[in-house]
């Protein structure tokens, strides 16, 4: 995948500015493999839609090139790129029936009548709407309309499908169901999907790889587990999942570990991720579920006294907020694995964690 010539989609040094001053996309280099489900995940305004629109051909890069199967697509208009698209607002034609909506991209591509009928039937069956061909979009639920939009994007057998927050308008339960449906369709069809969302759970559920966007640049590109387990900077650690943050200064480095001084609280053993010298300021990132309650002395490399501030029972886990190392917003998630848990607000406890669960990231 790191090879440069076999990328199915390639962004090469792509920049985009709308006003000639601010860079909406800074310097994008991204290779997407054939058949991959690649998600662009990031907060609103981070440049995801702009990136997708450049790939679709509705916006042009200010600099750099985009390649599909090794060919520059800079001069190819959107409808000739062979790309299917799905948007949040469905963008169905309201005055046309479902079948007519699906026929549209086929007629544009000059398919014959019998072929059009066969493709429509297959696409509607694929999204389990075989009986709804004669209805208009207004006579369908939101989830059904989104399925029609999906069928319309797939009906002409595109090799590449772009989806921009396609599930954003659906309620939670339907959204989660559609996430799995789209994922399974992707697996069955072998089509390449570039998916945009601001929802980290959606990205983790669906993707082969995730490109985390912030401020017009990719912060990290990795498979879901890698992003969660090994965030490379403070933005990614914060945006994907929850993390506790402790600010300090590197006081010792010894190859694979470092020692970080937390002012007034002592030293922490951590993994140096993007700090490399004594004296650097750093923010330590710790997942709440990796923190241990009252660990036996010597069992973990970091142990601190803490005080319980709040205990919230959430069924599958108990969320405990504690004061530790000068912070009163430190969160511990304790799995409800059956035993009776004795944590009361006000109690003095110790908490601890392993060196490898504590990542020393650059202080922003």
Residue 39 or 50 having the CB closest to ligand ADP: 50
* Of 49-57, 227-235, 267-275, 289-297: span binding Mg ion (CB under 5 A): 49-57
333-339: long-range contacts (C-beta < 8 A, 24 or more apart)? 333/288, 333/289, 333/291, 334/293, 335/289
State yes or no: residue 93 binds ligand ADP (CB under 6 A): no
* Residue that is written with structure tokens 């520059």 in the block: 72
Query: What sign has the CA pseudo-torsion 206, 211, 212, 215?
Result: negative
Residue 156 or 213 having the CB closest to Mg ion: 213
* Region 108-147 residues binding ligand ADP, contact defined as CB under 6 A: none
Mark 313-347 as b/e (b = at least 16 C-beta within 10 Å).
eeeebbebbbebbeeeebbbbbeeeeeebebeeee
Q: Which stretch of DSSP H or E encloses residue 71? A: strand 71-72
Max CA-CA distance within the chain? 77
Residue 210 or 291 having the CB closest to Mg ion: 210
Residue 83 or 116 having the CB closest to ligand ADP: 83
Question: At a CB cut-off of 8 Å and minimum separation 6, what does 234 contact?
Answer: 245, 283, 285, 361, 362, 363, 364
Choose the one of Mg ion, ligand ADP, none that binds residue 285, judging by a C-beta under 5 to 8 angstroms depending on kind: none
**Distance from C-alpha of 210 to C-alpha of 41, rounded to nearest angstrom:** 7
Shortest Cβ distance from residue 2 to Mg ion (Å)? 28
Choose the one of Mg ion, ligand ADP, none that binds residue 24, judging by a C-beta under 5 to 8 angstroms depending on kind: ligand ADP
Residue 186 DSSP SS3: helix
- Check: CB of residue 158 under 8 Å from CB of residue 83: yes
Total binding residues toward Mg ion, as defined by CB under 5 A: 1
Choose the one of Mg ion, ligand ADP, none that binds residue 45, judging by a C-beta under 5 to 8 angstroms depending on kind: ligand ADP
* Region 22-61 residues binding ligand ADP, contact defined as CB under 6 A: 24, 42, 44-50
Q: Name the token pair of 140.
A: 């369908």
Residue 61 or 248 having the CB closest to ligand ADP: 61
State yes or no: residue 39 binds Mg ion (CB under 5 A): no
Q: Which stretch of DSSP H or E encloses residue 125? A: helix 113-126
Enter the DSSP assignment of 168.
Answer: T
Residue 127 or 211 having the CB closest to ligand ADP: 211
Shortest Cβ distance from residue 253 to Mg ion (Å)? 41
* Of 29-37, 43-51, 93-101, 352-360: span binding Mg ion (CB under 5 A): 43-51
* Of 26-34, 47-55, 92-100, 186-194: span binding Mg ion (CB under 5 A): 47-55
- At how many degrees (to 10) do helices 172-189 and 142-154 cross? 20
Residue 198 or 259 having the CB closest to Mg ion: 198
DSSP 199-235: -HHHHHHH-SEEEEEETTEEEEEE-HHHHHHS-SSHH
State yes or no: residue 197 binds ligand ADP (CB under 6 A): no
Helices (H), 9-109: 48-56, 98-108
Find the binder of Mg ion among 39, 46, 49, 146 (CB under 5 A).
Answer: 49
Choose the one of ligand ADP, Mg ion, none that binds residue 93, judging by a C-beta under 5 to 8 angstroms depending on kind: none
Residue 103 or 211 having the CB closest to ligand ADP: 211
State yes or no: residue 200 binds ligand ADP (CB under 6 A): no
Per CB under 5 A, residues contacting Mg ion are 49
Q: Interface with ligand ADP by CB under 6 A: which residues?
A: 18, 24, 42, 44-50
């Amino acid at each position: 995948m790191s090879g440069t010539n076999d990328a199915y989609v390639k962004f090469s040094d792509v920049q985009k500015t709308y006003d000639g001053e601010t860079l909406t996309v800074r310097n994008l280099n991204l290779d997407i493999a054939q058949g991959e489900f690649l998600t662009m995940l990031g907060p609103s305004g981070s440049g995801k839609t702009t990136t997708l629109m450049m790939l679709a051909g509705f916006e042009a890069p200010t600099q750099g090139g985009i390649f599909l199967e090794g060919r520059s697509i800079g001069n190819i208009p959107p409808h000739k790129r062979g790309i299917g698209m799905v948007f949040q607002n469905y963008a169905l034609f309201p005055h046309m029936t479902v079948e007519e909506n699906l026929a549209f991209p086929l007629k544009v591509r000059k398919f014959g009548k019998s072929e059009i009928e066969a493709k429509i039937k297959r696409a509607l069956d694929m999204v389990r709407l075989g009986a709804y061909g004669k209805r208009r979009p207004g006579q369908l639920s939101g989830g059904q309309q989104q399925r029609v939009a999906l069928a319309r994007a797939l009906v002409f057998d595109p090799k590449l499908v772009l989806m921009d927050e396609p599930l954003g308008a659906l309620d939670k339960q339907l959204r989660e169901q559609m996430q799995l449906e789209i994922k399974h369709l992707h697996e069955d069809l072998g089509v390449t999907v570039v998916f945009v969302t601001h929802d980290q759970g959606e990205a983790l559920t669906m993707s082969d790889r995730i490109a985390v966007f912030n401020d017009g640049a990719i912060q990290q590109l990795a498979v879901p587990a890698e992003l969660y387990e090994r965030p490379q900077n403070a933005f990614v650690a914060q945006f994907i999942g929850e993390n506790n943050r402790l600010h300090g200064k590197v006081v010792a480095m010894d190859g694979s570990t470092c020692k970080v001084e937390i002012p007034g609280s002592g030293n922490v053993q951590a993994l140096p991720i993007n700090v490399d010298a004594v004296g650097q300021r750093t923010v330590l990132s710790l997942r709440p579920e990796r923190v241990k309650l009252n660990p036996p002395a010597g069992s973990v490399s970091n142990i601190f006294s803490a005080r319980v501030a709040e205990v919230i029972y959430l069924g599958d886990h108990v969320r405990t907020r504690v004061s530790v190392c000068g912070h009163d917003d430190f969160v511990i998630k304790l799995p409800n694995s059956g035993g009776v848990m004795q944590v009361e607000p006000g109690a003095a406890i110790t908490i601890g964690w392993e060196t490898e669960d504590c990542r020393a990231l650059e202080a922003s």
